[in-house]
Amino acid sequence: MFPIGWQITPLTNGDNNLDVPSHENIEKIVLPGEIIANAEEYVPGRNVDEDSGKLISLVMGKIRKDDENLVISVESHRVKPKPGSGDIVYGIVRKGDRDRFTVSVGALQTGKNELYELNMSGNLRVFFDRRSAGRDNVSVRVGDYVRTKVYKVRDNLELSLNGPTLGTLIARCTRCRTILAKKGNDLVCNNCENVEKRRMAPDYGNIMLDGDAS
């Protein structure tokens, strides 16, 4: 499968005499749709497909040849985008209280709705009504999976929940750590019947978690 956004456009220059260097690791950058070898020479490996006897790269990257097993592959050379102001990022709230939190940012969403892995830290400021008693009006809590927006890039990302699609995506009960279920404007624990509040994203609960989120 080639990356979303790339289109395969085989070359049609009629050159059947491909001059592919024989050393194992070739540093030339090839483009999606570019012919890299003949099918008589190699078996298509990773990110390579066959079309009418020609082996074609499915991604932009570097050619990798295994001459022992006669397999040719292309190592993806896509550049991961860097987060900027206005970008949407996903992460887990690691620490904080009331209106200041630290978020471990794990993914960046691009304009094409592709997700790229990140490993950054973010500072999240949220609304907290100090006139209200108790802690029920906290927008997020430690352990929440959140969708936020970058409003400034420094050493860490400065994050905000100011946007209609932003907020908590998954939250756990602060008493028993069971994932909370959305019921109206509340989050309810089906295990201990605890009721909590969050600034919920409109698609709260509609994501899959890999591994333990505790």
Question: Could you read off the pLDDT of 70-128 as tens digits, one per residue?
Answer: 999 988 766 677 899 999 999 999 998 778 899 999 888 877 677 777 888 999 987 65
Q: What integer pLDDT is reported at residue 137 of this predicted model?
A: 58
Domain assignment present for 45: yes
Domain assignment present for 60: yes
Is the same domain home to 103 and 153?
yes
Is the same domain home to 64 and 92?
no
Domain assignment present for 9: no
CATH number reported for the structural domain that contains residue 72 in this entry: 2.40.50.100
Is the same domain home to 159 and 102?
yes
Has residue 186 got a pLDDT over 90? yes
Is the same domain home to 166 and 188?
yes
Has residue 132 got a pLDDT over 80? no
Has residue 11 got a pLDDT over 60? no
Q: What integer pLDDT is reported at residue 201 of this predicted model?
A: 92
Closest CA to 88 of 118, 133, 126: 118
Domain assignment present for 7: no
The rounded distance, in Å, linking the Cα atoms of 192 and 16 is 70
211: confidence class by pLDDT, cuts 50, 70, 90? very low
- Provide the whole-model pTM: 0.61
CATH number reported for the structural domain that contains residue 105 in this entry: 2.40.50.140
**Structural domain span for residue 55:** 25-76
Is the same domain home to 96 and 178?
yes
Number of domains composing the chain: 2
Is the same domain home to 55 and 97?
no
Is the same domain home to 39 and 60?
yes
Q: What is the radius of gyration, based on Cα positions, of the chain?
A: 24
Cα distance between the two ends of the chain: 33
- Looking at 56, 76, 96, which one is the last position of a domain? 76
Residue length of the chain: 214
